[in-house]
């Protein structure tokens, strides 16, 4: 079928089947590039007493991996339990929330249990049920009590229950976060079958869990990196095929490159391109460069404000050079770069747009301004590495790349400052770069 054969409702259904920029994925068919991580998690969960902690940058796909792994592990007699933390969450509020969800999801099973199990169990279940619904009981402060609750959750919920505790990083109190390490040890000792997958934003596990919890043997830790090239392509390729569209390999490479490995951008750009083609109302069978640029521009307009805002703040009411300095910063595979390499990128970009480059000291002054509050701290230094910079939030780098692209500059995506990175694609892309930028209308400047 071609895209012109679908009515709007059919089109939307196909789009939703393949793309979800604002929602984590829970099914293995749609989770690209994570088979090894999934397998490691699966093995860890099958080991007695082991649980999993997934960490990495915002938007890299932690919730999706956690939910897909939970769906894989959870027995079919119930749904896995999902708890999303917030700044005020405490150890006890999370345990209560797990119990409440287990009870709500398990009414049929509870009926069966009450019919078949001995009355002591029913009594225990009732007392647990009462304690979680009783607002005057302010906390389950003993780890022992919490593991009793989880023991009952294990009984009422399902054959193989699993809980996902997401956004763990948002819990303000370090003390509350630390309680989970004693709790996990306790669960292991008591042989309780409910499993836990935690997920949270962090560059390092120690900074989130402290040295103590990050080293306990009850936790398998998974650091999630940006998505591989293949996985980025697959997302776009799948939806294009679903809509009966062909897409040229070069365009796939560009979408994959511009996304910087953050699946959110791949979904968003693909969604905008597909809508553009659908609304053209013609018998399009192949996505072209014009569709691509329309998609990019629409994606920029609808990007989450928290990703857009730092770039706008850092460039607003300042000279154009601030745009170029930020683009230079994002012009490599590496998230952390030293000033020599950033300046090299800058000089190259200025050549491409035919403008005079600043001398290095003036360039460095601007780079340094971008680390300050007036620039929303869009850049930061790198711990223990003088003269190195990174984006405070890696995902903002993706927005910078998107913005540069919408102005006709395709930043390098696979080429690394360090020569050890794969080069085939990098060579192909860098040799194309001058050509690509000259295909874009000259003098076009998109305002932020």
Ligand X SMILES: Nc1ncnc2c1ncn2[C@@H]1O[C@H](COP(=O)(O)OP(=O)(O)O)[C@@H](O)[C@H]1O
Residues that bind ligand X in the complex, under the rule CB under 6 A? 20-21, 23-25, 31-34, 58-64, 231, 235, 263-264, 267
Q: Which of 15, 51, 63, 231 binds Mg ion (CB under 5 A)?
A: 63
Name the minimum Å distance from CB 264 to ligand X.
Answer: 4
Tell me whether residue 63 or residue 375 sits nearer to ligand X (CB atom): 63
Task: List the single partner that 59 binds among Mg ion, ligand X, none, CB under 5 to 8 Å by kind.
Answer: ligand X
Name the minimum Å distance from CB 235 to ligand X.
Answer: 5
Name the minimum Å distance from CB 167 to ligand X.
Answer: 8
Tell me whether residue 170 or residue 380 sits nearer to ligand X (CB atom): 170
Tell me whether residue 31 or residue 370 sits nearer to ligand X (CB atom): 31
Q: Are 297 and 406 in contact (CB under 8 A)?
A: yes
Task: List the single partner that 32 binds among Mg ion, ligand X, none, CB under 5 to 8 Å by kind.
Answer: ligand X
Name the minimum Å distance from CB 57 to ligand X.
Answer: 7
Q: Are 272 and 236 in contact (CB under 8 A)?
A: no
Listed ranges 61-69, 208-216, 227-235, 282-290: which one lies at the site for Mg ion (CB under 5 A): 61-69
Task: List the single partner that 330 binds among Mg ion, ligand X, none, CB under 5 to 8 Å by kind.
Answer: none
Distance of alpha carbon 372 from alpha carbon 381, whole angstroms: 11
DSSP letters for 336-397: SEEHHHHHHHHHHHHHHTT-PPPPHHHHHHHHHHTTSGGGTT-EEEETTEEEEEEESSHHHH
Quick one: residue 266, left, alpha or beta (phi over 0 = left, psi -120 to 50 = alpha)?
alpha
Task: List the single partner that 412 binds among ligand X, Mg ion, none, CB under 5 to 8 Å by kind.
Answer: none
End-to-end Cα separation, the chain, in angstroms: 39
Q: Are 408 and 327 in contact (CB under 8 A)?
A: no
Listed ranges 55-63, 114-122, 177-185, 327-335: which one lies at the site for Mg ion (CB under 5 A): 55-63
Distance of alpha carbon 276 from alpha carbon 295, whole angstroms: 7
Name the minimum Å distance from CB 11 to ligand X.
Answer: 19
Mark residues 9-48: x for contact with Mg ion by CB under 5 A, - for none: ----------------------------------------
Name the minimum Å distance from CB 58 to ligand X.
Answer: 5
What are φ and ψ of residue 166, in 5° steps? Answer: -100, 165
Six token digits for residue 95 = 């345990």
Distance of alpha carbon 199 from alpha carbon 195, whole angstroms: 14
Q: Are 430 and 415 in contact (CB under 8 A)?
A: yes
Q: Are 413 and 241 in contact (CB under 8 A)?
A: no
Task: List the single partner that 60 binds among Mg ion, ligand X, none, CB under 5 to 8 Å by kind.
Answer: ligand X
Tell me whether residue 62 or residue 323 sits nearer to ligand X (CB atom): 62
Tell me whether residue 237 or residue 291 sits nearer to ligand X (CB atom): 237
Name the minimum Å distance from CB 96 to Mg ion.
Answer: 22
Name the minimum Å distance from CB 276 to ligand X.
Answer: 20
3-class secondary structure per residue, 49-77: CCEEEEEECCCCCHHHHHHHHHHHHCCCC
Distance of alpha carbon 446 from alpha carbon 403, whole angstroms: 8
Task: List the single partner that 375 binds among ligand X, Mg ion, none, CB under 5 to 8 Å by kind.
Answer: none
Residue with the CB atom nearest ligand X in the bound state:
61
Name the minimum Å distance from CB 395 to Mg ion.
Answer: 12
68 is a site residue for Mg ion (CB under 5 A): no
Tell me whether residue 22 or residue 362 sits nearer to Mg ion (CB atom): 22
Cβ neighbour number for residue 243 with a 10 Å cutoff: 22
Tell me whether residue 62 or residue 96 sits nearer to ligand X (CB atom): 62
How many chain residues are in contact with Mg ion, going by CB under 5 A? Answer: 1
Give me Rg for the CA atoms of the chain. Answer: 25
Tell me whether residue 33 or residue 408 sits nearer to ligand X (CB atom): 33
Residues 6+ apart with CB under 8 A from 371: 377, 379, 380, 381, 389
Tell me whether residue 21 or residue 310 sits nearer to ligand X (CB atom): 21
Q: Which of 188, 186, 199, 193 is nearest to 161 (CA)?
A: 193
Residue with the CB atom nearest Mg ion in the bound state:
63
Cα dihedral 114→120→121→123 (10° resolution): 80
Task: List the single partner that 34 binds among Mg ion, ligand X, none, CB under 5 to 8 Å by kind.
Answer: ligand X
Q: Are 319 and 42 in contact (CB under 8 A)?
A: no
Name the minimum Å distance from CB 71 to ligand X.
Answer: 13
Tell me whether residue 229 or residue 264 sits nearer to ligand X (CB atom): 264
Q: Which residues bind Mg ion (CB under 5 A)?
A: 63
């Amino acid at each position: 079928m071609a895209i012109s054969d679908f009515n709007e409702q059919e089109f939307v259904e196909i789009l939703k089947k393949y793309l979800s920029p604002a929602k984590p994925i829970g099914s293995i068919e749609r989770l690209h590039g994570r088979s090894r991580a999934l397998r490691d998690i699966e093995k860890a969960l099958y080991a007695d007493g082991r649980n999993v902690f997934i960490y990495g940058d915002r938007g890299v796909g932690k919730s999706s991996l956690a939910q897909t792994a939970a769906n894989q592990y959870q027995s079919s007699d119930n749904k896995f339990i999902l708890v999303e933390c917030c700044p005020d969450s405490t150890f006890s509020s999370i345990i209560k929330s797990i119990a409440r969800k287990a009870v709500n999801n398990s009414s049929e099973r509870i009926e069966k249990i009450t019919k078949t199990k001995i009355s002591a169990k029913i009594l225990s279940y009732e007392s647990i049920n009462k304690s979680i619904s009783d607002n005057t009981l302010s906390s389950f402060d003993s780890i022992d009590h919490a593991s009793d609750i989880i023991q009952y959750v294990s009984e009422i919920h399902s054959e193989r229950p699993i809980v996902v505790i997401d956004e763990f990083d948002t819990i303000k109190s370090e003390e509350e976060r630390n309680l989970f390490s004693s709790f996990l040890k306790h669960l292991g000792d008591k042989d309780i079958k409910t499993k836990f997958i935690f997920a949270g934003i962090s560059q390092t596990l120690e900074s989130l869990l402290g040295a103590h919890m990050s080293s306990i043997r009850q936790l398998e830790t998974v650091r999630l990196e940006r998505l591989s090239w293949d996985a980025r392509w697959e997302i776009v390729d799948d939806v294009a095929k679903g809509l009966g569209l062909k897409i040229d390999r070069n365009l796939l490479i560009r979408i994959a490159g511009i996304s910087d490995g953050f699946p959110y951008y791949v979904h968003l750009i693909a969604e905008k391109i597909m809508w553009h083609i659908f609304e053209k109302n013609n018998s399009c069978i192949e996505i072209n460069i014009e569709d691509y640029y329309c998609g990019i521009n629409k994606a920029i307009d609808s990007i989450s404000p928290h990703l857009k805002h730092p770039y706008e703040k850092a460039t607003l009411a300042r000279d154009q050079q601030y745009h170029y300095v930020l683009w230079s910063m994002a012009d490599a595979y590496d998230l952390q770069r030293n000033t020599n390499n950033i300046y090299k990128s800058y000089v190259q970009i200025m050549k491409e747009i035919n403008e005079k480059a600043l001398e290095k000291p003036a360039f460095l002054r601007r780079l340094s301004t971008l680390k300050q509050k007036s620039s929303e701290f869009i850049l930061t230094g790198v711990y223990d590495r003088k003269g190195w910079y990174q984006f405070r939030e890696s995902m903002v780098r993706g927005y910078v790349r998107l913005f540069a692209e919408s102005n006709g500059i395709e930043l390098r995506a696979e080429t690394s400052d360090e020569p050890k990175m794969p080069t085939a694609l990098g060579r192909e892309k860098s040799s194309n770069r001058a050509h690509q930028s000259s295909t874009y209308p000259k003098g076009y400047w998109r305002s932020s």
